[in-house]
Amino acid sequence: MDERRSGGALVVPAVVVLVGWFAAPLIRTILLGAPELDWVVDTQVSTVVNSALWVVGGVLGTTALALLLAALAPRGRGASILGGLLLVPSGVTLAVGAVAWRASFAFRPAGRDQVGIVNEVVTTAGLSPVAWLTQEPLVNTVVLVTAFIWAATGLATLALAAAIRAVPDLALVSARTSGASEVQLFRRLILPAIRVPLAGVVLVLTVVAIRTHDLVRVATGGWFGTDVLATESIERSFVEGQAGRGAALAVVMVVLILPLAALCVRRSSDGRTAARSLADQVEDHTDHLAIAAPGRHSARRREAERAAADGPRGGALRLRLVGFVVLVWSVPLAAIGLIALRPADATADTGWWHVVSDRRLTLDNLRAVLDAGGMWAGFVDSLLIAVPATILVVGLAFVSARALAVCTPSTSIVLKGALIVAAMLPLPAVLPPLLAVHVELGIDGTWPGIWLAHAALGLPLATLLLASSARDRMASGQAASGNMGARIAAVAAVTFLLVWNDYLVAATFLGGADGAGAPLTVRLAGLVASQGERLPLVAAGALVTAVVPVVVLVSMRRQLVALVLGRDE
């Protein structure tokens, strides 16, 4: 009872923090931007169309591909390795993804050797090379949308594959025994069983697509008709000094996201119920097997059930199909690695695939970007930002989750809804007001300033992710402490990845690529802007930026999927 009262005392401060950090800046943005909405309608049609293309194409393309790969995903060690490789693009910042796409779609005029793999394929087929990233209208936007699909598919596939594997094997075997085809099995049994995780994946992808900024900013700078709402809003607010018009574009983003947030709030309780129901089915199925065939025989029978659940063709064919997709998915990052390690003269004249015949490799490009390019200082700055910010966010989220866990049901619903809305808000709607506060306090451009900015922006998501484990711990005492520890580690990994891969917050609160305290993402964007045609240096910078998040994501992938699906590892 004492713990409940002490946790309940934290509710009022939590509400004050939410109002101060999110509601007030949002209201300011709405009041500032509302008078300029007519300007958006009159002059920003192409920007809105581009954002709509990102949402429709990016979300549908990623979801369809992730569903296909999740349905085909075999089981076993080989499948785990392939899943890890497919996940790698999701671990790199979108700025690195932009560099990978610039390298893959690089253009050289007809008659010259191509250095981009896409135009190499095009010219080999007898067609003329295409300047993909400058091709208007919409062609270059579609190319950038494919980069979003490439980056998002791995994590979406992993989440959906985990949900599909939670479907009881006995149900799959029974359906096949009754004569159901694989298509019928997927449509009538698997899809209904994973509807809650699938809806969650679609919601997250939609919000990320609406908020997209880094990929467009680094790949094209918003030129050649590729601007989206986020890039144009930031440009107007911070570069051109048109705060009202920047706020108006942010208001449009808020209008698009708020219905999704409301849907997420409405479905959150249904999601827990459906997840528990599915977990109960799995548990009942396991108990049935244990009663029917205890001991070693039970284990053998479960293995037989799993083999039968993989379908009549077994896992070998699926492994080949998924392996082919993973091979294609690995090409952009492999290209970055090889371009970074080849001599500059070789990369200028021939594509990276010529490493088969010209096997010269060097570390000169890495040395150049680490020293003269400032990427080593950026690496240190990224650590100095990400580690303290992660500790601050997770510590505050633990306290907030505890407060949320002991609230009355009605108060909990209200606070949870507010947290969901805060977590989904587009950054252009809250960054300008927050920066104004930092300037008034004199902490803009300082380490505490950037830590507090990340704490403000990361706290809602971290609290939501920790809240269910905090509630379980309060209900069962120390029995759930181990699960809480695992979830804290997973939330810390998510927070670290988000902060390390951030570009926009760091660029806003710490200045440009040449300023003190510029992390790797900001320096990489500056490197692309100044050395964009020198692919070896840009690729080396992307390689340095990507190493740490890829290691964290791959090593923590099981815990992260369990966190997303609301389970405990």
Sign of CA dihedral 345, 349, 354, 357: negative
Distances (CA, A) of 60 to 63, 64, 65, 227: 5, 6, 8, 21
Cα torsion 401, 201, 94, 501 to 10°: value is 10
Angle at the Cα of 381 (from 378 to 384), degrees rounded to 5? 155
In angstroms, what is the C-alpha Rg of the chain?
Answer: 25
d(CA 86, CA 150): 9
Give the Cα separation of 399 and 567 in Å (integer).
21
The continuous run of DSSP H or E covering 173 comes out as helix 169-177
List pLDDT tens digits, range 59-111: 999 999 999 888 887 665 566 777 778 888 988 888 899 999 999 999 999 98
Axis crossing angle, helix 375-405 with helix 520-531, rounded to the nearest 10: 140
Question: What are the pLDDT tens digits along the chain (569 aa)?
Answer: 454 554 455 555 665 666 667 888 889 999 999 999 999 999 999 999 999 999 999 999 999 999 988 888 766 556 677 777 888 898 888 889 999 999 999 999 998 889 999 999 999 999 999 999 998 888 999 999 999 999 999 889 888 888 888 888 777 778 778 777 778 888 888 888 888 889 889 988 999 999 999 999 999 988 899 999 999 999 999 989 899 999 999 999 999 998 888 888 776 655 444 444 444 443 443 333 333 333 434 444 444 445 555 555 455 677 778 888 889 999 999 999 999 999 988 888 889 999 999 889 999 999 999 987 789 999 999 999 999 999 999 998 888 888 777 777 777 777 888 888 888 889 999 999 989 888 888 888 889 999 999 998 998 889 888 886 555 555 544 444 556 788 888 899 999 999 999 999 999 998 754 445 789 999 999 899 888 778 899 999 999 999 999 889 888 877 876 776 555 55
List the one residue out of 208, 202, 221 whose CA is nearest residue 93. Answer: 208
Name the one residue in this structure whose structure tokens are 């587009």.
426
Q: Which residues contact 536 (CB under 8 A, 6 or more apart)?
A: 339, 340, 342, 343, 344, 347, 365
Residue position matching structure tokens 């390390």? 500
Q: What is the pLDDT of residues 420-450, one digit of tens each?
A: 888 888 999 999 998 988 888 888 888 999 9
Residue 510's pLDDT is: 86
Amino acid at 7: G
**Whether the Cβ atoms of residue 190 and residue 67 lie closer than 8 Å to each other:** no
CA distances 402 to 35, 337, 448, 464, 556, Å, are 41, 44, 25, 11, 24
**Residue 472 DSSP SS3:** helix
Quick one: DSSP state of residue 9? Answer: T
In angstroms, how far is the first alpha carbon of the chain from the final one? 29
- Determine the Cα angle at 431 with ends 426 and 435, to 5°: 175
Q: In the block, which residue shows the tokens 């893959």?
A: 104
Q: pTM of the prediction?
A: 0.86
SS3 call for 426: coil
Alpha-carbon distance of 516 to 368, in angstroms, equals 20
User: Are the CB atoms for 452 and 49 separated by under 8 Å?
Assistant: no
Note the maximum CA span of the chain: 79
CA atoms within 13 A on the CB side of 561: 21
Domains contained in the chain, CATH given: 2-565 (1.10.3720.10)
Residue 350 CB burial class (10 angstroms; 0-12, 13-18, ≥19) = middle
- Block residue for tokens 């005029």: 109
- Identify whether the C-beta of residue 386 lies closer than 8 Å to the C-beta of residue 455: no
Q: State the pLDDT at residue 444.
A: 86
Distance of CA 178 to the CA centre of its chain: 40
Do residues 389 and 499 lie in contact, with contact meaning Cβ atoms separated by under 8 Å? Answer: yes
For 315-348, b where at least 16 C-beta lie within 10 A, e where not — what string? beebbeebbebbeebebbbebbbbbbbbebebbe
What is the torsion angle, in degrees rounded to the nearest 10, for the CA atoms of residue 340, residue 344, residue 349 and residue 351? -10
Q: What Cα–Cα distance (Å) separates residue 100 from each residue in 140, 478, 507?
A: 15, 47, 21
What gap in Å lies between CA 119 and CA 103, rounded to an integer? 11
